[in-house]
Amino acid sequence: MTTVDSPGIPLEDYMLDDRSSYVKLPTVALPEGSTVLVGDEAWETAMEIGAAKTGNPLIAVDVYPGADVAAIAARIREALPEADVIDIEDAAAADRGVIDALISRNLTDDRVFGVMSHFTVDEFYDADRLSALQRRVEERNGPTVLVGWGADLAAGRAADALVLVDLARWEIQQRQRAGAPNWRAGNGSEDALRKYKRGFFVEWRAADRHKRTLFDRIDLLVDGNAAFETAGAVRGADFRTALAGATGRPFRVVPFFDPGVWGGQWMKSTLDLDPSMANYAWCFDCVPEENSLLLEADGRVVEIPAMDLVLSRPRELLGDRTFARFGAEFPIRFDFLDTMGGGNLSLQVHPLTEYIRETFGMAYTQDESYYMLDADDDAVVYLGVKTGVDPEEMISALRAATDGDHPFDAERYVNVFPARKHDHFAIPAGTIHCSGANSMVLEISATPFIFTFKLWDWGRLGLDGVPRPVHLDHGERNIQWDRDTEWVEENLVGQVEELRRDPGLIEERTGLHELEFIEVRRHWFEDEAAHDTEGTVNVLNLVEGDEVEVVSPTGAFAPYTIHYAETFIVPAAVGPYVIRRTAGSQSSRFATVKAYVRGTRSSDS
């Protein structure tokens, strides 16, 4: 992981190194005068807040599913020995069999895919037990602390102090890989993909739905990612002010890096990552539902899910038109796929919009593109079927390959295009594709996360020694067979259109296809390039040049430094901004790629 293990400890103690300009732990400033509480200071402060209202305070500690509620409760008992600390999950949660039956239709039998759910947290509790707990709370005669997911509901919304223990998705995944179960599931030994599925389709939907009702009321936010002894916490007012401030300036989320069977060496060397790792395959550097934000004051940080910003300030972040189209979701994803010195990605296809909606309950699909941040001389992209391919023959060959004894001849059926640095390949849903070895891909895509149908994985096992899942039945129903050689060459390859040329500046449209909702613009410049969000969120990456800074022409925010390969977000509320070389830049030219949602800029109307 690249996130901070113990945010209450000074940030510099957790920097992996300072040799690379790529910043692995970007922060968002807490308001001036904020204090990061450390360890038991949070629980003592919560008691003080409650005691200021009544001599018999009730404190609700609402815990995001994935955190260790028993351990949190034990820590609170040590910090507040005068309080009656109640684990509401043990006291009132529905029995495991009841929960499993409730969500079985959403989980399905598939190892990877389920159906998006609309559960609310109260549905996972036994009504009679919850009522009994609420009566116990009403009859209490001393300080009481309710701990667990939904503690706010158990308190009857009458808590004298409300605390949220928040947790990032990436941290939850790490814990599950290490053997942690899903919420009340007892499935610690289960396949990590099935655990993720349960979280993605059920738990996190309900948890975010519930958490969104808490943001305006919490008195404290506690970092659930860290060890309890040194975990950071911040007062609710400072948390809200920090998020409001983040929508008025550029910022970065905390990237995370993960190995894979096809992983390469580019990120390890260029971004100065842990050299002891065999490879790095992925980097999510702009996926707010997965990434974190680090809220910082006086060198100490509190880690929160970046999704908190999306859920709490969607209009300012996304813009009114993007929010109207997608709701409180961040629709644009930037991530890295590193195959330098590695292997091919799996041959795959993404579902069409109607299919993803009808089959999985997802509102939009994963249109995407490959921007080549770097490439060796032999780098290629597999894209679209070859003209004249017989669909039945190709599907039959793919099915035969699943036995491990009949490798699929990908180049017989799929187009192979050479890939060079700064090439951009559009990949609308339904187009068969994959990146070959020896490429460094900046993937710019929509954000439905996991809806990739693998068709052929080159006969490999996953890092866990288990064959990676292949979904031919889903894939067969989504491959668009008319996207053949001629169609791909005409629509998806080399689609660069120059829009403007001024002294020292070139603006280009590099994609995506007209079926995709994301627009991508590339700006080459020597000194600076002027931009305007025009009412919609912008996501950018510095794809050429060593270092630039983002500045406000009106001085609305302090200059924000960006280094090579860093992805950054410019909220819709920012409006005009300028990207310019810094005084210390050594590069002779620079380039950024910028993505935004088509049809949402004020100039589009």
Q: Is the dihedral of CA 423, 428, 431, 435 positive or negative?
A: positive
Give the whole-angstrom CA distance, residue 104 versus residue 202: 10
- The structural domains of the chain, with segments of one domain joined by +, span 11-251, 258-287+337-491, 497-604
DSSP letter (8 states) at residue 168: -
Mean pLDDT value across residues 494-514: 94
pLDDT at 603: 75
476 SS3 class: helix
Q: Which helix (H) or strand (E) holds 242?
A: helix 236-246
pLDDT tier for residue 8 given thresholds of 50, 70 and 90 = low
Q: Distance from CA of residue 14 to its chain's centroid?
A: 22
Give the whole-angstrom CA distance, residue 130 versus residue 146: 12
Assign domain 497-604 one CATH number from 3.40.190.10, 2.60.120.10, 1.25.10.10, 3.30.930.10. 2.60.120.10
Q: Distance from CA of residue 574 to its chain's centroid?
A: 22
Give the whole-angstrom CA distance, residue 486 versus residue 539: 31
Q: Under CATH, domain 258-287+337-491 is a member of which superfamily? A: Jelly Rolls (2.60.120.10)
Residue 414's DSSP bridge partners are: 385
Give the whole-angstrom CA distance, residue 482 versus residue 126: 53
Q: For domain 11-251, which architecture applies? A: 3-Layer(aba) Sandwich (3.40)
Q: What is the overall mean pLDDT for the chain?
A: 93
User: pTM value?
Assistant: 0.94
Output the CA–CA distances (angstroms, integers) from residue 415 to 55, 117, 281, in the order listed.
73, 38, 24
Per the CB < 8 A criterion, the answer to whether 241 and 29 are in contact is no
37 SS3 class: strand
Per-residue pLDDT tens digits for 527-563: 999 999 999 999 999 999 999 999 999 999 999 999 9
Mean pLDDT value across residues 475-480: 98
Domains 11-251 and 497-604 are alike in CATH topology: no
Per the CB < 8 A criterion, the answer to whether 20 and 546 are in contact is no
The yes-or-no verdict on residue 230 having pLDDT over 90 is no
| CB neighbour list of residue 104: distance below 8 Å, 6 or more residues apart | none
Per-residue pLDDT tens digits for 299-340: 999 999 999 999 999 999 999 999 999 999 999 999 999 999
Give the whole-angstrom CA distance, residue 42 versus residue 233: 6
Per the CB < 8 A criterion, the answer to whether 183 and 175 are in contact is no
DSSP letter (8 states) at residue 199: I
Q: Is the dihedral of CA 416, 420, 425, 430 positive or negative?
A: positive
pLDDT tier for residue 438 given thresholds of 50, 70 and 90 = very high
